[in-house]
Chain A
């Protein structure tokens, strides 16, 4: 075998191992969610769907699913509007201090969520604000808005500016240009950004842990249940969330793949 083929083979083996490493936890979760034993431990027993029926009978878990959907949905809605507007301003308006604004937009993604969560907690305690799902949503607005701004900004960057110019030449008002030309063209980016922001908010633990008061979201319930040991019910819940995330990812990637249609034309060679 030639040198080239040996290194090729080695790379293939390594790539396969890496993918196994990434996906092993997921496989284990699903496997144990069907295991007929109250212990998440080897050796495995028979097959059962009992943990799934138990799951739907558990009001604490079902309640937390609704809470997570509520928190994720509201913060995503706020972030999508605020982020899309901000991305538009950043892409189309030139002003002094833009670098500073860009840093302000990016920081929530670089600051550890522990700091975002604790600093908000300080404010809520200082101002005697009752902690609930609403305060969690306030905590989520920051990093989800940053995220949407960056994703939509990338779509705006890829958009051919002459399309907007054409609309302006045909006497469309600025709002008309935005709503009837720009927004429909960047819609895939907006949708993808929103979906991703939603999953970030849906899964977030630290900010919710610090600022939710007595109300629980899914990650809080999972962490809470884990204190009393591993339970196949958590596996069932995790497997369902995984399936849902997987579907969402498929939808988002198909939406994103459609994006290439009206790109900025490549510069002439």
Chain B
């Protein structure tokens, strides 16, 4: 009878155990196995990890991935904060309307939006078209698309709304009377922002950073579509190792190093926010 209470959890737990916990364990085991004749054989080794950690080309891509993700996250924060502030504190009648239009992109395809950026940044895209028609340049700039810059633009456009919404939520919870109090005590606008608004919305900022930085680290589609040879991510290498080269052990090892990095980031952010509050509202 007591066990019966857990019955509602059974279907979900069945799904989770069979379809991601067990597979992840298998992949973890693979990261310590050897490949022979394109098959995984249980010869235990640390070579897969050593291979990745001593391969400067792969490490460079890993670092580039982290830097690109960090830059995109930073830009997202710089754009999102004023936007969220405008929606939460300044827009009055347009508020619901604006939130609606910030939420809409969540419902639309990543692949399609990345594709759309290819049409804007391409050799014959909007940017080059405008530059040529205004006479600023004669030949289309080739290097906008398929570069780290186009990857950052694409990522920013897709992940910006995540950041805006978390910051908006924390600004919305901020009591306006605190801002009035600061104003009454002769704090300048800048000082009010720096000493009151910013510290009180810090949980929203950190949550936004988590919701943008971590998914970008695992992003595959955008760097694949917009990155070219100079902009691809570590995930593209992992997929190639699994696909063409059949190096499943090395691919798994890189994936778990990436996972470790993600977990470390989440743990580091624990100092600033309460995860229970975000996820079990």
The answer, yes or no, to whether B54 is at the interface (CB within 8 Å) is no
Query: Given A14-B79, A205-B221, A245-B107 in contact, is the A118-B255 Cβ separation under 8 Å?
Result: yes
Interface size grouping (class) on chain B: 35 or more
Within 8 A of B (CB), among A1-55: 3-4, 7-8, 10-12, 14-15, 18-19, 21-26, 28-29, 32, 39-43
Please determine whether B259 and A86 come into contact, CB atoms closer than 8 angstroms.
no
Please determine whether B27 and A15 come into contact, CB atoms closer than 8 angstroms.
no
Please determine whether A234 and B6 come into contact, CB atoms closer than 8 angstroms.
no
Residues of B bordering A, CB below 8 Å = 5-6, 8-16, 19-24, 26-27, 30, 40, 79-80, 82-83, 85-87, 90-91, 98, 100-113, 115-120, 122, 124-126, 128-130, 132-133, 156-157, 160-161, 164, 189, 214-215, 217-221, 224-225, 235, 238-239, 242, 248, 251-252, 255, 258-259, 262, 266, 276, 279-281
Top 10 nearest A-B pairs (CB, nearest first) are A112-B218, A42-B129, A25-B116, A41-B124, A119-B23, A86-B12, A85-B8, A82-B11, A15-B86, A203-B109
Residues of A bordering B, CB below 8 Å = 3-4, 7-8, 10-12, 14-15, 18-19, 21-26, 28-29, 32, 39-43, 78, 81-83, 85-86, 88-90, 93, 95, 101-102, 104-108, 110-116, 118-123, 126, 138-139, 141-142, 145, 149-150, 153-154, 157, 196, 199, 202-203, 205-206, 210, 218-219, 222-223, 226, 230, 234-235, 238, 241-242, 245-246, 248-249, 252-253
30 A–B contact pairs at CB < 8 A?
Answer: A10-B82, A11-B82, A14-B83, A14-B86, A15-B98, A18-B80, A21-B156, A22-B101, A24-B120, A25-B119, A28-B126, A29-B119, A40-B122, A42-B125, A42-B126, A102-B276, A105-B16, A112-B218, A114-B220, A118-B242, A118-B251, A119-B27, A126-B26, A150-B279, A196-B106, A199-B106, A223-B111, A241-B112, A246-B107, A249-B100
